[in-house]
Structure 1
Amino acid sequence: MRILIIGGSGLISTAITRQLVQCGENVTLYNRGKSPLRIEDKVQHIQGDRRDFAAFEKQMSDAERFDCIIDMVCYTPEEANSAVRAFSGRTGQYIFCSTVDVYTRPADGYPYYENSPRNPRSEYGKNKAHCEDIFLQAHRQGKFPVTILRPAHTYGEGGSIIHTLGWSTTYLDRIRKGKPIVVHGDGNSLWVSCHVDDVARAFVVAAGKQQTIGRSYHLTGEDWRSWNRYHQQVAEALGAPDPQLVHIPTELLARIAPKRLDTTLFNFQFSNIFDNTAARNELDFRYTVPWLDGVRRTVAWLDEHNRIENSDNDPFDDQVISAWQRLSTQMIQELEGLA
């Protein structure tokens, strides 16, 4: 098949590209060319910016017809509408990389299914849900067949390990140095992670598979753990002792550092449990990389590329912890014995 990947340099799209090439597919990447590719295999490349809608649509009109398009970097309704204009009648399948952030948080019940209510809290989730609607409408109108895939937390070589305060790798350095770790809430909400190799494999299977047309699928991890256990197991993977976990209310953290806490406020504080039955049955999805192994592989890649930042140069975590502990002590002293 001739397959176009819109994106190609990101975490998931890199793994998809590599696996497609290994399967003998003819792969073309469309991106701005500003991020280095981590792909040794030969692929074709079209350089451009999809957000320059007129230029993007002209480039796609001039390109040959693709059997399958995998859109990894569509984040807004405007980009989705542009894609519909660009590819109407010009592809056998359009695979949209969406997200589990499209769902209502917290859930009415667990696990989430593909038809669970979609009333996202974050702008990111709202935009992705709107994009899904645009593509499904295009599908119903016969403009092109659509498949929607919804990963959750995807990690692996080329990426990092997420935590309460974002993606900064100072988190890993703190664990190695035995520094305390900030945890949102009481740390008991459930989280789920899936290695990029397992997620990418499902994209590859979906490409060209007619059974997936008009359907949505979860591509998520399957060993749910509390955030407390998450941090303990990251430490275990690093060969470090259990970290001291400092629990701070999510809403308070979000007031202090809204940019760092955006995902935590709209996602992490709620439990994440998803049903993967459809992907298992129809996309041969398998959760094959255990969390500890995946963390070790990811950290090894970060070490090899000198990507782990020195936490001594970022005092933010320690400042937050110090203020919280000081104010907590003051609160105890003021209110102790009143109840």
Structure 2
Amino acid sequence: MKILLIGGTGIISTAVSKALLAAGHELWLINRGTHNHILPEGANYITGDINDTNAMEKALSGQSFDCIADFIVLKPEQIERDYHLFHGRTKQYIFISSASAYQKPLSHYEITESTPLSNPYWDYAANKILCENKLMDFYRKTGFPATIIRPSHTYDEYNIPLCITGWHGCYSVIKRMQEGRPVIIPGDGTSLWTLTHNSDFARAFLGIAGNPHALGEAVNVTSDEVMTWNQIYETIADALHVPLHPFYVSSLFLHQAGPFDFKSCLLGERVQTAVFRNDKLKRLVPGYQAAVPFRTGVQTALHNLLTDPALQAEDPVFDAWCDSVIDALTLTAAALKAKFPVCE
């Protein structure tokens, strides 16, 4: 198939690009060209800004595709842009939405594609919902061949998925673990969460792309492996061969006490239990099964992180903030215990 990706070099889309090339598809990408060096040879590039519609119209003149997938749409006006650019140029348009769009808090712990879309905590998720509504309106009114994919928390061989980090990624938390220092886990670490390796997402994508049964459908693409955040952090610590020293703090306190926007990522997503049903995906892609368990995926990611100094971004502000939160709550707990001794 001849497939066009808008983006193509992010955590999810890099795996998709590599998988499409490995499968022998004719791959085209529209992006700014900043990170194309990470992809193997064989892709065709249209370098530019997708928002420059006049330039894109010229670049796409005479082109048509079996499938187009946009990985970087964040707002409904970008769906309108894509509709005007690609209507009549493709047999399938795939919008990469997000499982963060699902109802928060959930009315049922299992998430299917029919779970209501409603997330009042996170503008990102709210905009994804608006994008989906706009796209399906085009599908119903004009037959625009739309498919929606909803991934959850997806990671790759260079990123460690954590519940909270600062502005510079995961290394600061990993370093705290290595040094035997406590790491903050929101809540009590018992909420259920789903992590998906990007190579598993890519295998699912290959089965959805060009699939006529996927038109007009929204599809969850996640792993079936469900873990608590305690289990996730313990698996990381085990891979580092160090004991885990968790320090539990309420999500609301973390939001109120920090310079970081934890309301969105915590209340709007990561402390909410997320157990996904992938029945529809398995009907569309017979035989699909996520193949990379977290224990295996995180070992590879940790190896890459700890052997490449370029990935080891220090985060002194986040690190100092963690220490301040831990010290403040520890002192407060000790003072309260002294003031109100246990009654016999």
- The offset of 1:115, in angstroms, is 0.7
TM-score by length of structure 2 reads 0.92
Residue 246 (1) aligns with residue 250 (2): no
Determine the C-alpha separation between the residues in 1 that align with 2:284 and 2:275: 20
Is 1:88–1:143's contact at 8 Å kept on the other side of the alignment? Answer: no
Name the structure 2 match of 1:156: 156
- The offset of 1:130, in angstroms, is 0.9
Helix, strand or coil for the counterpart of 1:62? coil
Determine the C-alpha separation between the residues in 2 that align with 1:40 and 1:304: 22
1:98-109 paired onto structure 2 within 5 Å: 98-109=97-108
Name the structure 2 match of 1:323: 328
Name the structure 2 match of 1:129: 129
Name the structure 2 match of 1:269: 271
1:34-45 paired onto structure 2 within 5 Å: 34-45=34-45
Match of 2:304 among 297, 301, 306: 301
Determine the C-alpha separation between the residues in 2 that align with 1:90 and 1:36: 24
How many aligned positions are there? 337
Name the structure 2 match of 1:280: 282
Name the structure 1 match of 2:64: 65
Is 1:237–1:296's contact at 8 Å kept on the other side of the alignment? Answer: yes
Which amino acid in 2 is paired with 1:259? F
- The offset of 1:29, in angstroms, is 0.9
Determine the C-alpha separation between the residues in 2 that align with 1:256 and 1:55: 46
Determine the C-alpha separation between the residues in 2 that align with 1:190 and 1:297: 23
Helix, strand or coil for the counterpart of 1:70? strand
Which amino acid in 1 is paired with 2:65? F
Determine the C-alpha separation between the residues in 1 that align with 2:131 and 2:231: 34
Helix, strand or coil for the counterpart of 1:315? helix
Name the structure 1 match of 2:80: 81
Which amino acid in 2 is paired with 1:274? F
Query: Which stretch shows the higher mean deviation, 218-227 or 165-174?
Result: 165-174
Determine the C-alpha separation between the residues in 1 that align with 2:24 and 2:18: 10
Determine the C-alpha separation between the residues in 1 that align with 2:200 and 2:149: 13
Q: Could you give the per-residue CA deviations for residues 197-238 of structure 1, whole angstroms, max 9, x where no partner exists?
A: 111111111111111111111111222111112111111122
Cα pair distance change 1:232/1:181, threshold 3 Å: same
Is 2:32–2:48's contact at 8 Å kept on the other side of the alignment? Answer: yes
- The offset of 1:151, in angstroms, is 0.7
Determine the C-alpha separation between the residues in 1 that align with 2:314 and 2:55: 40
Is 2:159–2:170's contact at 8 Å kept on the other side of the alignment? Answer: no
Name the structure 2 match of 1:220: 222
Q: Could you give the per-residue CA deviations for residues 290-336 of structure 1, whole angstroms, max 9, x where no partner exists?
A: 11100001112223432133567842221221122112222333344
Is 2:162–2:170's contact at 8 Å kept on the other side of the alignment? Answer: yes
Q: Could you give the per-residue CA deviations for residues 90-144 of structure 1, whole angstroms, max 9, x where no partner exists?
A: 1100011111111111110121110111111311111111111111111112352
Q: Could you give the per-residue CA deviations for residues 46-70 of structure 1, whole angstroms, max 9, x where no partner exists?
A: 1122234x34652464261111101
Give the CA RMSD over aligned residues. 2.0
Determine the C-alpha separation between the residues in 2 that align with 1:155 and 1:223: 14
- The offset of 1:28, in angstroms, is 0.7
Is 1:28–1:46's contact at 8 Å kept on the other side of the alignment? Answer: yes
Cα pair distance change 1:302/1:59, threshold 3 Å: farther
Name the structure 1 match of 2:47: 47
The alignment-based identity, stated in percent, is: 29
Cα pair distance change 1:84/1:312, threshold 3 Å: closer
Unaligned runs of 5+ in 2: none
Determine the C-alpha separation between the residues in 2 that align with 1:45 and 1:240: 45
Helix, strand or coil for the counterpart of 2:142? coil
Q: Could you give the per-residue CA deviations for residues 231-260 of structure 1, whole angstroms, max 9, x where no partner exists?
A: 11111122222x111111110100122535
Determine the C-alpha separation between the residues in 2 that align with 1:196 and 1:283: 17
Name the structure 2 match of 1:29: 29
Name the structure 1 match of 2:3: 3
Determine the C-alpha separation between the residues in 2 that align with 1:27 and 1:61: 14
Determine the C-alpha separation between the residues in 1 that align with 2:128 and 2:176: 34
Determine the C-alpha separation between the residues in 2 that align with 1:323 and 1:59: 59
TM-score by length of structure 1 reads 0.93
Query: Which stretch shows the higher mean deviation, 203-212 or 322-331?
Result: 322-331
Helix, strand or coil for the counterpart of 1:202? helix
Q: Could you give the per-residue CA deviations for residues 256-302 of structure 1, whole angstroms, max 9, x where no partner exists?
A: 22535230121112111110111122124311111110000111222
Q: Could you give the per-residue CA deviations for residues 151-173 of structure 1, whole angstroms, max 9, x where no partner exists?
A: 10111114332232354321111
Is 1:95–1:147's contact at 8 Å kept on the other side of the alignment? Answer: yes
